[in-house]
Structure 1
């Protein structure tokens, strides 16, 4: 329990730093007159606030690993890649984003399983079922995202997939790889250390 408190405190600090960085960027780009960058900075703050609002409304708090993964993903994609222009600095940054999205979606699948299972009167958890559901959910969402990109590219004239099947499949493979790695981690944790999220006894 003490470890959990320290982890949550670390996530709180991480989120606070992101607010500060976004605020600095907003003021800096506002002075420079770069409206697009100002909007991106405002969007970062808005997304962070929206996550808190959704958690509060749904009464579904994110466990530490998921929260950290989401914050890190926002930091990489919205702050480093878009706001600070790291797409041109770090090669294949887009692929790392898809890889990491597989990790996040696997944790989201785990949270969905717990939320749905807690509604049952027995409230018994099966770690194996939870892990498989999380894995398949994450892989499916990788495919759904590419369907979304394909649709917007053709309907709105965008170029998210670079007009390439290779780009599409590489993105799906990256997302799937992240999901597999996370599910293996969860399987090892469930076997040797138990999973606090699914262990009502918190042993």
Structure 2
């Protein structure tokens, strides 16, 4: 377990080294607004690792790596290197976030239950939990974007209610789609990624 966790720390450290190199490059160019975004990304990586070590996500390697990938795509490529200028890149991120949030919701569901209780409750319970969690977090994410836009002058929401609503729809829709394999797993179907997540969580609950 110790060696595995060292690997997770190493991946996060590599990401931070990339950020430091990028920060130096942006500083030389005088692009100070991007330096602030790099700082936010750095803090987010630290918080992600802290959650991996201390929260209900403890020891869940798959979720940790997925979260780092999403941070790389959204906060690093999109915000630091302006990938948001690519048509529909924002919608791609919100679609992807729906799957990420749904998996996190399922991890929370596993953490709050036991193997025996999951066998006894209705198979739809996990699905309903994940769908509601995904929809709620899609809304919370838009609140976060609205807050950062208001405080720091960002343009994540493009000052558009239509953009905001489509973002929520994208995240919620993929959250619903992601709940399908979760339901299949609860009915006895073997889903590899879900089996791996459950194994990680159960191992670290002991």
Tell me the TM-score range normalised by the shorter chain: 0.7 to 0.9
Report the equivalent of 1:135.
131
Deviation, structure 1 residue 142? 1.6
State the distance in 2 between where 1:138 and 1:113 align: 12
Aligned pair partner of 1:25 in 12, 16, 22:
22
Structure 1 stretches (4+) deviating beyond 3 angstroms? 8-17, 57-60, 144-165, 188-191, 197-201
Deviation, structure 1 residue 48? 0.9
RMSD: 3.4
More helix by share: 2
**Highest RCO, 1 vs 2 (Cα 8 Å, sep ≥ 6):** 2
- 5+ residue gaps in structure 2? none
State the distance in 1 between where 2:41 and 2:17 align: 11
State the distance in 2 between where 1:175 and 1:163 align: 19
Q: Deviations over 1:98-157 (max 9, x none)?
A: 111211211121122122225xxx853256422321121101222343455567778998
Alignment of 1:190-201 (within 5 A): 190=186, 191-193=188-190, 195-196=194-195, 197-198=197-198
- 5+ residue gaps in structure 1? none
State the distance in 1 between where 2:10 and 2:125 align: 34
Q: Alignment partner of 1:192: what SS? A: coil
Equivalenced residue count is 192
Range moving further from structure 2, 139-148 or 39-48? 139-148
State the distance in 1 between where 2:149 and 2:30 align: 30
Report the equivalent of 1:79.
76
State TM-score, norm by structure 1: 0.74
Contact 2:105 2:133 in 1 (8 A): yes
Matched, 1:36 2:29: no
State the distance in 1 between where 2:132 and 2:11 align: 30
Deviation, structure 1 residue 63? 2.2
Aligned pair partner of 2:100 in 100, 104, 127:
104
State TM-score, norm by structure 2: 0.74
